């Protein structure tokens, strides 16, 4: 594997951390470690979202940059008498990417390796073999011989189960493979935005936020935005990459490496036109690449944030990512770096007058 520079080390620490919705402590601690040196104050809301505050002008507008800490995973619901674990998906899963995949069960006594199993195809009738296995018919095998043994190892209903995958730099070193890009890349963007602003002047107060429970209904975005009361918000997340075999431009437009995605429409929000125009006009002026996308079947934290208080002009800026909501997803480092660059340049120009113009024109 390629030697990890400072940025890659942070990305590895963030993606290797285990944290499904409601269990975000580990990724929160990693994000806290990396963002604290660039923040004036780091707090959490009551649900556990991390809020790092960086003051430029304390009387200026409040700008929220939010990535979510949680990743899709599973939760143990019961242990059968032979020691197999039944589970609930937490966040969206497609059954075809799950079978025979290695997972980590996080118990109060430590971590246990498991594998997702089902009835073997060799004993299924021919018709059944042609159909994907239902998630409800899957189980997790931890090698226990009985319920009592699994319990002795510390397994309990409610325990978090996380995909097992190690951060990997591909042969093309711009291509990065990891679990949980959805959405530790958003957390990394929030960290790097504050880092770039550390010694820069900016006419506002910036909040770098790691939200909780995005994958189960944009929940931490709601509570953290209520706490911050932002004037402008950016949800930073992953988007769909349309550059793999079989995907048409009608289905997904974006290509990895062609710049961050400006989401004009998704299931949770119509992007704010004034903010969208401001961001894309600046990107054009500074020659920062970007691509437009619409995701009618998904949403981001912006969907919750823009509905708090009296309404918040919001925009989702995302990174085109292959194979999200599986054990291993891939993204392009240039898109990440250009997203940070764009957001930093936008923030430097968001003074009160500009924010009022964006909001009320």
214 noted as active-site residue: yes
Q: How many CA atoms lie within 13 A of 111 on its CB side?
A: 10
Nearest residue to 50 via CA among 193, 184, 185, 220: 220
pLDDT at site 1? 56
**CA 244 – CA 195 distance, rounded (Å):** 33
CATH 1.10.1740.10 holds for 73-163: no
> In which region does residue 289 sit, left (phi positive, over 0), alpha (psi from -120 to 50) or beta (all else)?
beta
User: What is the arithmetic mean of pLDDT over 126-139?
Assistant: 89
Question: Is 27 or 298 the better-scoring residue by pLDDT?
Answer: 27
Q: State how far Cα 59 lies from the chain centre.
A: 31
Q: Is the pLDDT assigned to residue 213 strictly greater than 90?
A: yes
pLDDT at site 249? 84
Catalytic residue among 24, 71, 214, 215: 214
Taking the model in full, what pTM does it have? 0.96
Give 273-276's long-range contacts (Cβ < 8 A, gap of 24+): 274/313, 274/357, 274/358, 274/359, 274/361, 275/232, 275/313, 275/314, 275/315, 275/358, 276/315
Q: Which residues contact 231 (CB under 8 A, 6 or more apart)?
A: 61, 62, 63, 204, 312, 313, 355, 359
Q: 33-91: per-residue pLDDT in tens?
A: 999 999 999 999 999 999 999 999 999 999 999 999 999 999 999 999 999 999 999 99
pLDDT band (50, 70, 90) for residue 2? low
Q: Of all residues in the chain, what percent carry a pLDDT higher than 90? A: 91
- What is the SS3 assignment for 205? strand
Q: Of all residues in the chain, what percent carry a pLDDT higher than 70? A: 99
Two tokens, residue 299: 């949403």
- Mean pLDDT across the chain: 96
pLDDT at site 126? 81
Q: Is the pLDDT assigned to residue 122 strictly greater than 80?
A: no
User: Under CATH, to which class is 6-71+179-360 assigned?
Assistant: alpha beta
Q: Sketch the domain layout of the chain as residue ranges.
A: 6-71+179-360, 73-163
Residue 28 exposed, middle or buried by CB count within 10 Å (0-12, 13-18, 19+): buried
């Amino acid at each position: 594997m390629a030697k990890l520079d400072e940025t890659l080390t942070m990305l590895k620490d963030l993606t290797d951390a285990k944290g499904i919705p409601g269990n975000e402590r580990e990724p929160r601690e990693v994000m806290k470690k990396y963002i604290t040196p660039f923040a004036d104050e780091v707090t959490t809301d009551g649900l556990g979202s991390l809020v790092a505050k960086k003051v430029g002008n304390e009387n200026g507008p409040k700008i929220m940059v939010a990535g979510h800490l949680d990743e899709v995973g599973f939760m143990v619901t019961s242990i059968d008498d032979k020691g197999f674990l039944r589970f609930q998906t937490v966040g969206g899963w497609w059954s075809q990417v799950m079978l025979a995949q290695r997972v980590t069960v996080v118990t109060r006594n430590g971590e246990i390796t498991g594998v997702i199993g089902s009835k073997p195809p060799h004993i299924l009738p021919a018709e059944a073999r042609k159909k994907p296995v239902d998630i409800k018919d899957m189980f997790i095998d931890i090698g226990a011989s009985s319920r009592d043994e699994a319990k002795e190892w510390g397994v309990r209903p409610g325990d978090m189960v996380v995909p097992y995958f190690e951060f990997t730099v591909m042969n093309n070193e711009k291509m990065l493979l990891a679990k949980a890009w959805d959405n530790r890349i958003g957390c990394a963007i929030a960290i790097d935005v504050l880092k770039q602003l550390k010694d820069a002047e900016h006419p506002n107060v910036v909040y770098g936020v790691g939200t909780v429970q995005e994958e189960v209904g944009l929940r931490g975005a709601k509570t953290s935005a209520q706490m911050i009361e932002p004037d402008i918000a950016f949800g930073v997340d992953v988007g769909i990459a349309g550059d793999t075999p079989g995907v048409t431009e009608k289905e997904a437009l974006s290509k990895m490496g062609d710049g961050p995605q400006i989401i004009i429409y998704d299931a949770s929000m119509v992007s704010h036109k004034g903010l969208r125009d401001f961001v894309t006009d600046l990107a054009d002026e500074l020659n920062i690449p970007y691509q437009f996308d619409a995701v009618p079947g998904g949403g981001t934290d912006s969907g919750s944030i823009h509905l708090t208080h009296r309404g918040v002009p919001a925009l989702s800026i995302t990174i085109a990512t292959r194979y999200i909501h599986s054990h291993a997803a891939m993204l392009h480092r240039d898109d990440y770096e250009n997203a940070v660059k764009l957001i930093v340049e936008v923030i430097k120009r968001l003074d009160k007058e500009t924010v009022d113009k964006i909001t009320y024109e």
